[in-house]
Amino acid sequence: MRMLTKIPKQFYFFLAVLFVLNLIQSNFTQLIFDEAYYWYYSQNMAWGYFDHPPMVALMIKISSYFFDGELGVRLVSCLLSALNIVLLWLMIDNPKKNQYIVHFFVLVFSMTLLNAYGFFTLPDTPLLFFTSCFLLTYKHFIKNESLPLAILLGIFMAALMYSKYHAVLVIFFVLLSNIKLITKPYAWLAVLIALCCYAPHFYWLYDNDFVSIKYHLYERPNGAYSFEKYTLGFFVNLVAIFGLTFPFIYKALLKTKNTNLFNKALIYLTYGVILFFFISSFNRRIQTQWIIIICIPMVVIAFNYMLNNKQALTWIFRLGLINVILIAYLRIGLVHQPLLFNFYYESHGNIEWAAAIKKEAGNRPVVFENSYRNAPMYSFYTNGSPTFSLNNYMYRKNQYSIDNSEDNVRGKDVAYISKYLNDFSFSYQREDGGLYKGIFIPNFQSFRKVECIVEEQELTLTTEKSIELSVYNPYEQNISLQDLKFGITYMDAYKTPIQTLGITPTANTPNTTQLQAKDTTKFKFSLPTTKNENIGYFRVVISENNLLFGLNGKPIPIN
């Protein structure tokens, strides 16, 4: 509290202006698709979700207690963003900083994603905030190891991990910068507290067959390496997060020395994250937000460098002002689409298309095929209308694959939205060219949680022997085999579907006509002949009631 009273009034004035600006932006900007998806998380609070830990859902749930609409999704993000700026300021010790408050705010506001996460509610928002909490606490801890600081460190490490799995990089590289921490009892206490706080999520992962870890490590689709898309794209992202100020920002990093343990932690964290994702860029495309963690140490590093280097102070301020003007223009464009030269962003037109589909669907639940993005967006802008994302073999699993949303539409008359429809009863053309096509299906039936399990791993396309297949029905009802069709989806080495062929598996028990509820049925099948080459995997898939095949089996490698 004493530290806060030492902050000049001018600082709080700029902070208040930025906070009010973010509130206004939050209220008048329609949700983006990821925010709608995380809003859907918050409708059923849990200790974990398919793609991420639960912090983002908790933020939205808290926001919803105070406001409706978009602000009911983003309020906590605005608060955390403002508090994050205070924490960044407190990490800077230079006595000259009070003379350059305007320069500090220009530096912070000019960082593109740090700016965007001032109001968007995404997992990176709490990740940034708790990174600052962790670093500021660590700064005090290395000066005075104590029980209260060890407890805080543990809590903030857990909060980091509850925000996003990338948080492990923050903890690891700070530890690497001060390896002597492994000899400190209070450091071990902090780790123990963090593990205890994180235990509910560990249990959730265990209870859900580590679905999040398996997806991120093994099942996430990828593509063939491309220097332009992967490695060069990574370097473009390093420039994009700082905009025009990037030469001086990175010069500040290069010029900063390990003068103390805290500076060393900032440097290790920045270089560590950059190196980690540089190496990763040879395997996959690096998304811009994955490297946003470096913005926190870089604010401290760059501002300290500015205070001691007149040229850097001048140029970062000038270029930062240009960044600020461009970002302000883009932020206005998030609300009013014409200002972006007719560029159509995902925060535009959602109210309109949701209303158009609602007009056709009436009170029917709406099933979106292959769109965990459209389903929650429609629900949000139609006051919680029931929706479901039906995922077929050309898509990927998501939160709708593991929750009970399918139960809410089974047996109902639904409006079914799919780009794969040839004949449709209604449609809506988005301004960006996207076309929603829909039909009405009475007594809708889908069983996408039926699991197809192949134990054998050493398989080839020329395998002649029968392959054992276990089909588990997790539902409370029997499923008639007459309503099901089995198939094999062949995929390339990057798990991209190439071809799907039908198969007729033979039940081990004669005269089997149903998949019994909560039971496993044994079958045998043979791989169908394909003329396609470069096949790396296959997946057993099921179509129920003539829907497109689902994602019932895991990718099995073919040698």
Please name each of the domains of the chain with its CATH number: 2-338 (no CATH), 350-441 (no CATH), 451-557 (2.60.40)
Q: In this predicted structure, what is the pLDDT of residue 533? A: 83
Nearest to 364 by CA among 381, 399, 392, 388: 388
451 in Cβ contact with 430 (< 8 Å) = no
Amino acid making up residue 372: Y
Element (H, E) at 515: strand 514-515
**Cα gap 478→465, rounded to integer Å:** 30
Per-residue pLDDT, 340: 57
Separation CA 412–CA 389 (nearest Å): 15
From CA 198, how far away is CA 191, in angstroms rounded? 10
Residue 453 has a CB neighbour count (10 Å cut-off) of: 15
> How far is Cα 467 from Cα 525, in angstroms, rounded to an integer?
5
Query: 384 in the Ramachandran plot: left (φ > 0), alpha (ψ -120 to 50) or beta?
Result: left
Q: CA distances (Å), 112 to each of 85, 105, 377, 440, 557, in order?
A: 15, 13, 25, 43, 41
Which whole-number Å values give the CA distances from 416 to 138, 302, 374, in the listed order?
A: 52, 52, 12
Q: Which residues, 6+ apart, have CB-to-CB distance to 356 below 8 Å?
A: 428, 436
- The Cα–Cα gap between 12 and 321 comes to 20
Question: What pLDDT, on a 0 to 100 scale, did the predictor assign at position 215?
Answer: 86
Separation in Å, CA 323 to CA 246, 315, 319, 530: 11, 12, 6, 54
Q: Are 388 and 449 in contact (CB under 8 A)?
A: no
As a whole number of angstroms, the distance between CA 380 and CA 70 comes to: 9
Tell me what pLDDT residue 343 has. 72
- Please state, in angstroms and rounded to a whole number, the distance separating the CA atoms of residues 559 and 549: 24
DSSP 133: H
Q: What is the pLDDT of residue 458?
A: 76
Q: What is the pLDDT of residues 323-355, one digit of tens each?
A: 999 999 889 889 887 655 567 789 999 999 999
CA dist., res. 543 & res. 552, Å (int): 9
- In Å, how far from its chain's centre is CA 84? 21
Determine whether 209 is exposed, middle or buried from the number of CB atoms within 10 Å of its CB (0-12, 13-18, 19+).
exposed
Residue in 448, 477, 468, 474 with CA at minimum distance from that of residue 541: 448
Phi and psi of 67, rounded to 5°? -140, 160
What's the start-to-end Cα distance of the chain, in Å?
63
Pick out the chain residues at pLDDT < 70: 1-5, 221, 338-342
Contact 117, 48 (CB under 8 A): no
User: In this structure, what token pair is assigned to residue 284?
Assistant: 């996959």
- Neighbour-count burial of 523, counting CB atoms closer than 10 A to its CB (0-12 exposed, 13-18 middle, 19+ buried): buried
**What one-character DSSP code corresponds to residue 143?**
T
For position 398, what pLDDT does the model report?
Answer: 94
